[in-house]
Amino acid sequence: MSKEEGEKLRIKKEEELKVVGMHCATCVSTVSKSIKSVKGVKDANVNLASGIARVEIENARLKDIVEAIKKAGYDVVTQKISFKVDINPEDARKIEEKVEEIKGVIKASVNPTNGYVIVEFNPYSITSDELAEEIYKKTGHKVTKVKSEVTNKSEVKEMLERLIIAWIFTIPTLYFQYSGLLFIAFLTSIPVQFYAGLRYHLGAYRALKNKTANMDTLVSLSTNVAWFYSVYALIVHQQVFFDVASLLISFILIGKTLEAYLKERISVQITSLKEVKATLADGRIVKASELKVGDEIIVKSGEVIPADGIVDEGSGEVNESIVNGESLPVKKKKGDAVIGGSTLISGYLKVYVTRAGERTYISQVVEAVNQAQTARLPIQNLVDKVASIFTPLIIGISAIVFVVWRFILGYSTEESLLFSVATLASACPCPFGLATPLAVLTSVNRLAKKGIIVRNGESLETLKKVDTFIFDKTGTITEGKISVRAEGDKDAISYASALEKMSNHTVAKAISSISNGSFEVKDFTEFPGSGVYGKVNGHDVIVGKREFVLQNCEGEGKGDVLVCVDGKVSASFYLEDKIREDAVKVIEHLKRMGKRIIIATGDTSENAEKVGKELGVEVIKGLSADEKAELVKSEVNKGRIVAFIGDGVNDAIALKEANVGIAISSGTDIAKYAGDIIIPKVGDLLTLLEYSKLTVRKIKENLAWAFGYNSILVPIAAGILYPTLYLPPEYAALAMSMDSVAVSLWSLVKI
């Protein structure tokens, strides 16, 4: 066996993953099997005591292994980090691929609009510092570690600096060249070519290193062809083009600076508390980020509330549109909760801080929105393909243009070169890379202002294709305020009421409000989705769904919930829950759209059927959380595209199984809600559907801009209409850079 063959047979890498949730030997075998089922895994060794799975990988992706473990019902400890990196939009996919090749990296997503790379990695095999170093080695891009910032002011500043230098030296270059002082024109063109244009040359070099080509390649190639040819022409006393090279860079920089400014404007739409100042009760003024739980702060009219808290003193009207999208102010008085990021319109409040810094609601929103902005929409795959062949194609066309003008049409080398350079300078793959992310970014930001949090940008595109909507009932379709009617033995009813006080379930809460007597409750045990058991005043009491109680008790009973005391059915409860007004509107709208609608509920009561009849939709009742997830899964397996809409806490598994999981949150801790999108109330589903449609339309419009612009400019620059219409290289460059500006501006236009 040769040394090379030996190298090939060697194990490529070994990863140690920390698996969470293993209890016994069965778990070890399940986890082990799930890892080994991934193609390319050579061996897996799982240790129950340490929770570490040591995996020998030959040619498998870590992402697939982690997914396999999660699918088996366990979790893996991973870490997420955001990096800031200076990239071209069309390179985003390439960078993602390169980063995902690094050992320990599970997933990388790049947001081309603001240059953020979010990397999920295995902290047991690589540290964040090592990761930054590896990214530099692999891609040639220096990265800076950031946490969760949305803004980036430095790019505009840097672009502006280069733009100013470019024009300061371009104007004298033009003057000296046209005055015949060619050597001085050569000298003044140097800073433009090698300082102002440096980012394009470096970008082209990096692209070459990554065996790809991008916009930088086109700019660098066109300006270098013009500039180096001019140096040669200066020596042999022929016509020079220092003006062309300098103007080309200066014009491109105008467009790119404008584009950077626009991208920044789109990114900085969500309020962040980072900049807000807070006044403490003792008069000290601190940054909002320095506040701690327990601090007391003073908020005066017109000020932004710097943290989440409870009003301790005073009263006032607060605009809470960041939470629910409602612009009508809400009255707040002592004891009411206030949300950081909302504005006190009038009045005075002394607030006791309950959540500060990154735990505040608005910080969670910024974090979620930031993540959604890095989404890769399926449509982007097509765009990537176009972008990857675009630059080599243009370089080829440019070479053909030179050959045609010089050797077929018989023009001079100088003239032919100008057409060739103009072709290079007129084409830009940038807008292809910007079209999708800018549209998603704008929608995600606008929805956040309406209180709708999109955590997974992809879901905006998927939502448009959904054909089956599965709704949870209690709290989603109905108001969740259950009214209860009791029948049977009075003592049994009181015992049941006392026992249910220990549970948090919506039905339990309704039953617990029936009686106020004082009882001793012991051995309380809850069987999620079925019922509860406990000893009340020495009696064995079971309260739960009819089937559950009848399985464990003697006797018979009608009603939705039965009570068993000392082994005998002694009382029953009948439940009723009102349908929400906005739910009726949503269901009617979806019906008009011809969508399939199912209500999946854990409720077994007759009320569940009544709700279905009233709305005219199919109801599947008596489902546990797992069964709801199974229902979603089976619909997905049938090839349907399913959205599940339900309470973010109880329906976590079903929300995950659906193509789009939409959680309804009434609280402010968005971190605890599962799902791709979080909406404040079911009625907001209509707004969401509208935005989904508009986002996809916006993406298509942006792509049409990008495609149309290039397909008109390139032939003109190649001289197809010469001499009627002619585009000199510098104007071709200006026109090209305006393409991205057009796409950015179009993304900002209200959708």
Q: CA–CA separation, 567 vs 7, rounded Å?
A: 71
| Per-residue DSSP letter, 482 | -
| Nearest to another protein of 443, 570 (CB atom) | 570
Residue type, 697: R
Residues in region 565-594 near another protein by CB under 8 A: 567
Decide: 675 and 663 in contact? Cβ < 8 Å.
yes
For residue 575, the minimal CB distance to another protein (Å) is 21
Q: CA–CA separation, 606 vs 500, rounded Å?
A: 21
> What tokens appear for 682 in the block?
């079911």
Pairing of strands 13-20, 75-76: antiparallel
| Nearest to another protein of 451, 529 (CB atom) | 529
Query: Which of 25, 235, 236, 408 forms a contact with another protein (CB under 8 A)?
Result: 25
| Nearest to another protein of 417, 549 (CB atom) | 549
3-state secondary structure of 421: helix
For residue 44, the minimal CB distance to another protein (Å) is 17
By CB under 8 A, which span of 24-32, 39-47, 282-290, 683-691 interacts with another protein?
Answer: 24-32
By CB under 8 A, which span of 123-131, 513-521, 525-533, 717-725 interacts with another protein?
Answer: 525-533
For residue 487, the minimal CB distance to another protein (Å) is 22
Residue 555 binds another protein, judged by CB under 8 A: no
Residue 24 binds another protein, judged by CB under 8 A: yes
> Phi and psi at residue 116, in whole multiples of 5°?
-95, 135
| Nearest to another protein of 543, 645 (CB atom) | 543
Q: CA–CA separation, 416 vs 402, rounded Å?
A: 5
Decide: 213 and 91 in contact? Cβ < 8 Å.
no
For residue 45, the minimal CB distance to another protein (Å) is 19
Total length of the chain: 751
For residue 26, the minimal CB distance to another protein (Å) is 5
By CB under 8 A, which span of 18-26, 280-288, 460-468, 738-746 interacts with another protein?
Answer: 18-26
The answer to whether 243 is a known catalytic residue is no
| Nearest to another protein of 73, 517 (CB atom) | 73
Q: CA–CA separation, 271 vs 274, rounded Å?
A: 9
Query: Which of 27, 92, 254, 427 forms a contact with another protein (CB under 8 A)?
Result: 27
| Nearest to another protein of 100, 540 (CB atom) | 540
Rounded to 5 degrees, what angle do the CA atoms 255, 205, 149 make? 60
Q: Which residue has the tokens 């895994």?
A: 41
| Nearest to another protein of 249, 553 (CB atom) | 553
Query: Which of 11, 40, 73, 697 forms a contact with another protein (CB under 8 A)?
Result: 73
Residue 506: name the closest of 466, 465, 475, 542 by CA. 475
| Per-residue DSSP letter, 376 | -
> What tokens appear for 239 in the block?
């016509």
Residue 481: name the closest of 622, 614, 578 by CA. 578
Q: Among the residues of 56-153, which ranges form H helices?
A: 62-71, 92-100, 128-139
Residue 37 binds another protein, judged by CB under 8 A: no
Q: CA–CA separation, 359 vs 48, rounded Å?
A: 33
Pairing of strands 618-620, 596-600: parallel
Decide: 705 and 688 in contact? Cβ < 8 Å.
no
Residue 533 binds another protein, judged by CB under 8 A: yes
Which residues make Cβ contacts (< 8 Å) with residue 563, sequence separation at least 6? 488, 492, 493, 495, 496, 541, 542, 543, 549, 569, 570, 571, 572, 573
Decide: 705 and 746 in contact? Cβ < 8 Å.
yes
Query: Which of 128, 315, 354, 530 forms a contact with another protein (CB under 8 A)?
Result: 530
Beta strands in 640-679 (DSSP E): 642-647, 660-664, 677-679
Query: Which of 16, 18, 30, 609 forms a contact with another protein (CB under 8 A)?
Result: 30
Residue 542 binds another protein, judged by CB under 8 A: yes
| Nearest to another protein of 247, 652 (CB atom) | 652
For residue 24, the minimal CB distance to another protein (Å) is 5
Rounded to 5 degrees, what angle do the CA atoms 748, 750, 751 make? 110
Query: Which of 143, 447, 564, 733 forms a contact with another protein (CB under 8 A)?
Result: 564
By CB under 8 A, which span of 6-14, 481-489, 522-530, 708-716 interacts with another protein?
Answer: 522-530
First-last CA distance in the chain: 64
For residue 626, the minimal CB distance to another protein (Å) is 10
| Nearest to another protein of 23, 147 (CB atom) | 23
Give a three-class secondary structure readout of 315-347.
Answer: EEEEECHHHHCCCCCEEECCCCEECCCCEEEEE
> What tokens appear for 386 in the block?
């176009």
Query: Which of 136, 178, 194, 527 forms a contact with another protein (CB under 8 A)?
Result: 527
For residue 25, the minimal CB distance to another protein (Å) is 5
For residue 489, the minimal CB distance to another protein (Å) is 18
| Nearest to another protein of 85, 653 (CB atom) | 653
By CB under 8 A, which span of 56-64, 347-355, 489-497, 523-531 interacts with another protein?
Answer: 523-531
Q: Among the residues of 150-297, which ranges form H helices?
A: 154-178, 182-191, 198-209, 215-235, 242-267
For residue 376, the minimal CB distance to another protein (Å) is 34
Catalytic option among 243, 308, 472, 647: 472
Residue 354 binds another protein, judged by CB under 8 A: no
| Nearest to another protein of 390, 533 (CB atom) | 533
By CB under 8 A, which span of 344-352, 477-485, 544-552, 698-706 interacts with another protein?
Answer: 544-552
For residue 564, the minimal CB distance to another protein (Å) is 8
By CB under 8 A, which span of 20-28, 252-260, 498-506, 676-684 interacts with another protein?
Answer: 20-28
For residue 504, the minimal CB distance to another protein (Å) is 15
By CB under 8 A, which span of 21-29, 161-169, 277-285, 450-458 interacts with another protein?
Answer: 21-29
Peptide bond connecting 378 to the previous residue in cis, omega within 30 degrees of 0: no
By CB under 8 A, which span of 26-34, 361-369, 402-410, 605-613 interacts with another protein?
Answer: 26-34
Burial of 690 (0-12, 13-18, 19+ CB in 10 A): exposed
Q: What pairs with residue 287 in β-bridges?
A: 277
Residue 548 binds another protein, judged by CB under 8 A: yes
Q: CA–CA separation, 333 vs 335, rounded Å?
A: 6
Query: Which of 10, 23, 211, 592 forms a contact with another protein (CB under 8 A)?
Result: 23
| Nearest to another protein of 26, 327 (CB atom) | 26
Catalytic residues: 472
| Residue ranges binding another protein (CB under 8 A) | 23-27, 30, 73, 525, 527, 530, 533, 540, 542, 548, 551-553, 564, 567
